[in-house]
Structure 1
Amino acid sequence: MEYKKTIFSVCLFPALVWSQVTVVAPPTGSGTTLMPISPLRANAVGGGVRIKDLGFIEGARANQLTGFGVVLGLNNTGDKDTVYSKQALANMLQQYGLTVPATSVSSKNAAAVMVTASLPAFAKSGSRIDVNVMSMGDATSLTGGALIQTPLVGADGRVYAVAQGPINNNSFSLGTDDAAVTKNHPTAGSLIGGALVEKEVQATLVRDGQINIILNATDFTLAARMAEAIRGQAQNLGGQGWFAAARDGNSVQVMVPEQFQASPIDFIAQLQAITVVPDSKARVVMNERTGTIVATSRVKVLSCAIAHGNIYLAVNKGKDAIQVPPLAQAGTTALVPADVAKVTETGGGLNVFPELPTVQEVSQALNSLGATPRDMMTIFHMLKAAEALQAELIIK
């Protein structure tokens, strides 16, 4: 059996704004190409991004809900000997007038689970929300089970929704302890629209005649541009003069015009439709577990020289037969491991690169070295240490 180095596809994104994304399968073979993706034209007017896609109105936020429940109907894949699972079953039976000691309860068809959900802003009583379910004990699968009525509470301890219904996890686990086949993650699942909202959360959008736009990411340049774009639309929105200003790098304050004070929803709808050209930071993000590298268009590399060598390890696993010597009094033929390891190191010359001001030139330079994604990660580390990489390096 031979172990080979795994090759991952790598993409660099020079585009700051795009309206749709095309996914292309990586080419077969051992080579790997660092491929820049051309910018796609945005649907927004003027090539910008809508304010509603860059931030949200303060007060219009979701709230997290959690709950403890029991999943029934499992096919001998539930909790085996979990104390809180037994106690949960005993409590549930007691609600129906059956008093059973927790120590006497045992069912492999049930599993204790934690239930989570996100309550959207302005969700009304009777509307449905999605629910996530995760096993807490030693259950091996939740496939085929159903969640029994479970209250979902907020951080204040109040019940805001109630979840119930069959589990959907699109997975299975078949086999024995020695040999089993598992697809996806069988101990977690979801209920699409599985919870009913029981209590609304009151939200206040306008405070002292103004609203605040909270950016998705802190950026002083974007906050200033957003305020400027809103002021540019002041006449169309019914405002007079300077009625928008960036409070800091994460929020923009907007005064609501007098004619919209009684019904600010129309004003917010027009406000969120305004487009802004965002500004991105120079960043290289690397995930060392998956071998994925993503870079923004502003990545720049100063003039430098790069030399990088690779070490490849191939291990052939096998066994040799040891025969009993002729005329031996006793003994048996045995198989012993006979592994062969081969190490190959490929050298690389010192490559001198001029200043690389664009992400396209950076990708072309690294591809010319024949570097794999793992090699590129090492090169980016060294470029940052040498202060040649003019970008923030983020390791995931």
Structure 2
Amino acid sequence: MRWKPFAAANDVPVRRRASARMPRLLGTLLALLALLPVPAPLGTPGAAAAPVRIKDIADFEGVRENQLVGYGLVVGLPGTGDKLRTAIFTRQTLIGMLERLGVNTRDQETRLETKNVAAVMVTANLPSFARPGSRIDIAVSALGDATNLTGGTLLVTPLLGADGEVYAVAQGAVATGAVAARGQAGSVQRGVPTAARISSGAIVEREIPFELAGRDRIRLALRNPDFTTARRIAAAINRAAGAPLAQATDPRTVAIQLAGRDPAEFLTDIEQIRVEPDMVARVVIEEASGTIVMGANVRISTVAIAQGNLTIRVTETPQVSQPEALSNGQTAVVPRTNIEVDTQQDRRMGMLRGAVTLADLVRGLNSLGVGPRDMIPILQSIKAAGALQAELEVR
């Protein structure tokens, strides 16, 4: 008699039901996987840029900041101000300010030796639609030979616009955020102690007149001019509005008809529309720091690259020759020179096939052992050979 393994009475039906459900579960899983987006590899021609809001790539006409500038005095410095003997403008400004306050210093002008005053330039940006009474931030910069503005106070300084009118008045305690210490044998400095900021340090006295109400049209100004981007913005606005209200007039401008709509509400809706900006294939090189930035649309035609350097290393290891004891010889220095020449013969020529992408270019240069500093002349040579299908901007 053979023993059979114990089996429940419902084992077979359960297995049949599981096998019957399997095709349906597999089909549902495949359908869900088909709906998931498949990201394109970096550097492929079909890789699309992420859409961005219109407010992040364009500005509305008239909705802009205006620059203000003024000249003033910072007082209360701990002996780090201008030297009145050399900073003549600081002396004249100080004398004029004291005279306006009723203090006569003309007779004692030669005795003004204070080092607690510094002449400064005050700059600020007046935001759009800034109303009288609102506050704005200002920047303060030393104009004379002051060494540190920490601890000073800016006196009342009118801020002028490009038309010469006063639009704000600045005053307050300056804050540099810098640290400077000096001793007899050394010094240390972090930050720039001659440049400071005053948060909410100016009060707006006059507003720049600009009204959105009553306008029948407004224009968008692209921060990076491009025909394709301007046309995409116009098409996106027309789709959202359901009417042909926008038109790209040039690479930087998109004209929008308001058509009786509320300007503030309509422009708010336009700001949130997302478009995919296009960009010019460009390679930017910063020679001072060795920084290279390349766009995704950069392409390289078929080209062969070989890179190598000639390094000559000269090492001097002089030796001292001393005579034996109780002899009449003299101590002499015997030169020993070692010269090494490295031609980097292990470098090979690499071939980049036509229409390679940014990722292929970087990968190919890295395989040759090329660093960022060496990539700069290589890219310049590729551009000179006509194989770099992009703009090359060297700064």
Aligned to 1:387: 386
Q: Note the 1:79-90 alignment, pairs <5 A.
A: 79-80=82-83, 81-90=86-95
TM-score (norm 1): 0.77
Q: 2:100 aligns with which of 86, 92, 95?
A: 95
Q: Note the 1:270-281 alignment, pairs <5 A.
A: 270-281=269-280
Q: Report percent identity of matched pairs.
A: 42
Aligned to 1:165: 172
- Determine whether 1:365 maps to 2:364: yes
* Distance in 2, Cα, partners of 1:359 & 1:272: 32
Q: Note the 1:98-117 alignment, pairs <5 A.
A: 98-101=103-106, 102-117=109-124
Q: Deviations over 1:88-141 (max 9, x none)?
A: 111221221112135443321111111111101001111111111111111112
Residue 214 of structure 1 aligns to a residue in which SS?
strand
CA contact (8 A) 2:79 2:116 kept: yes
Closer, same or farther in 2 for the Cα pair 1:304/1:141, shift >3 Å? same
CA contact (8 A) 2:281 2:391 kept: yes
Q: Write the letter of the residue equivalent to 1:280.
A: M
* Distance in 1, Cα, partners of 2:317 & 2:60: 64
Q: Write the letter of the residue equivalent to 2:251.
A: G
- Determine whether 1:251 maps to 2:253: yes
* Distance in 1, Cα, partners of 2:53 & 2:316: 58
Q: Deviations over 1:26-53 (max 9, x none)?
A: xxxxxxxxxx899xx99xxx94211111
Closer, same or farther in 2 for the Cα pair 1:248/1:150, shift >3 Å? same
* Distance in 2, Cα, partners of 1:104 & 1:380: 63
Aligned to 1:297: 296
Aligned to 1:233: 240
- Determine whether 1:48 maps to 2:51: yes
Residue 229 of structure 2 aligns to a residue in which SS?
helix
CA contact (8 A) 2:348 2:368 kept: no
TM-score (norm 2): 0.77
* Distance in 2, Cα, partners of 1:71 & 1:345: 60
* Distance in 1, Cα, partners of 2:100 & 2:208: 29
Q: Write the letter of the residue equivalent to 2:52.
A: V
Q: Which runs of 5+ in 1 are unaligned?
A: 1-35, 236-240, 324-338
* Distance in 1, Cα, partners of 2:43 & 2:352: 22
Residue 389 of structure 2 aligns to a residue in which SS?
coil
Closer, same or farther in 2 for the Cα pair 1:246/1:158, shift >3 Å? same
Aligned to 1:284: 283
Aligned to 2:14: none
Q: Write the letter of the residue equivalent to 1:74.
A: L
CA contact (8 A) 1:356 1:362 kept: no
Q: Deviations over 1:293-315 (max 9, x none)?
A: 11110011111111112356879
State the shift of 1:352 in Å.
1.8
State the shift of 1:152 in Å.
0.5
Once structures 1 and 2 are overlaid, which stretch shifts more, 71-80 or 282-291? 71-80
Residue 52 of structure 1 aligns to a residue in which SS?
helix
Aligned to 2:73: 70
Aligned to 2:330: none
* Distance in 2, Cα, partners of 1:151 & 1:313: 62
CA contact (8 A) 2:59 2:221 kept: yes
Larger radius of gyration: 2
* Distance in 2, Cα, partners of 1:316 & 1:151: 64
Q: Write the letter of the residue equivalent to 1:346.
A: Q
Once structures 1 and 2 are overlaid, which stretch shifts more, 141-150 or 172-181? 172-181
CA contact (8 A) 1:90 1:105 kept: no
Q: Write the letter of the residue equivalent to 2:149.
A: L
- Determine whether 1:119 maps to 2:118: no
Closer, same or farther in 2 for the Cα pair 1:314/1:289, shift >3 Å? farther
Aligned to 2:20: none
Q: Which runs of 5+ in 2 are unaligned?
A: 1-41, 323-336
Q: Write the letter of the residue equivalent to 1:159.
A: V
CA contact (8 A) 1:71 1:148 kept: yes
Q: Deviations over 1:49-74 (max 9, x none)?
A: 11111111101111000000111122
Closer, same or farther in 2 for the Cα pair 1:358/1:37, shift >3 Å? closer
Closer, same or farther in 2 for the Cα pair 1:77/1:349, shift >3 Å? same
Once structures 1 and 2 are overlaid, which stretch shifts more, 243-252 or 171-180? 171-180
Residue 252 of structure 1 aligns to a residue in which SS?
strand
Q: Which structure is richer in relative contact order (CA contacts within 8 A, separation 6 or more)?
A: 1
Q: Which structure carries more helix by proportion?
A: 2
Q: Deviations over 1:146-191 (max 9, x none)?
A: 2111110001111111111122221133225863222121211211
State how many pairs are aligned.
334
